[in-house]
Amino acid sequence: MELDEKYASCQPDARPGSFVCVSVSDTGVGIPAENLPRIFEPFFTTKEIGKGTGLGLATVYGIVKQHQGWIEVDSHVGKGTTFRIFIPRGTPSTTNGIEKPTTSLVVKGGNESILLVEDESPVRELVARVLERYGYRVFQAGTGAEALDVWRRSQNEIKLVLTDLVMPNNMNGRELAERMWSEAPQLKVIFTSGYSADIVGKDFKLQPELNFLQKPYQPQTLALTVRRCLDGKHR
């Protein structure tokens, strides 16, 4: 789609230019007008307790923003909803801000033990394979509680914790790290997230490629961040 100034002036996030538009529609119950401004907020949900976390659309929003795009929503109660995702067209040389594969970079591995905490099992298995390919020994956990069990058994071996910021069962990545730091203040921790790191709070310092990885990321970026964190002076 070619969008002009007139179109862009009618949508808060739109801008003129050449875009690919992906449109998804349903014939469901629709979204009440009072909820529309909040649907992309992390943890906002109208579902019953245990039926949803309010992170699905927040994650989608973060991915689209990473690709310099935006989302438009048109919904009518009782009739359904249409989501339109706009992504700028371009060539490999014009992927402004999108992480490029670091194929020419030689990344050093290691033999340290890493505790990997990720509730999505396919993601966890993939990340574990990448880390093991670089020589690391990997302990895996799907929740904060599982991670604490592993920590109690093997904390003398674990040199770094790689944890998702948002996890089920009422313990997020920051809370998990703080529990471990109370026992091992110098423990190295890397946080990952599919959306803004602001979810942990403005008082919590996160530094890209040192102790924070924005999803999705390249395998070499993962390995480089792990090595930098392990070799760094601060946790």
How far is 1 from 126, CA to CA, in rounded Å?
Answer: 36
pLDDT digits (tens, 9 = 90+) for 185-216: 999 999 998 765 555 555 566 666 568 888 87
Q: What does pLDDT average to over the chain?
A: 85
The answer to whether residues 162 and 171 touch, using CB atoms and an 8 Å cutoff, is no
More confident residue, 94 or 185: 185
pLDDT digits (tens, 9 = 90+) for 46-82: 776 655 556 678 778 878 887 889 999 999 999 999 9
Beta 158-164 vs 188-193: how paired, if at all?
A: parallel
pLDDT digits (tens, 9 = 90+) for 100-136: 554 556 788 999 999 999 988 888 999 999 999 999 9
pLDDT at 139 over 90: yes
Domains of the chain (ranges; CATH) run 2-94 (3.30.565.10), 113-231 (3.40.50.2300)
**Phi and psi (nearest 5°) for 65?**
-65, -35
Question: Residue 22: beta bridge partners?
Answer: 85
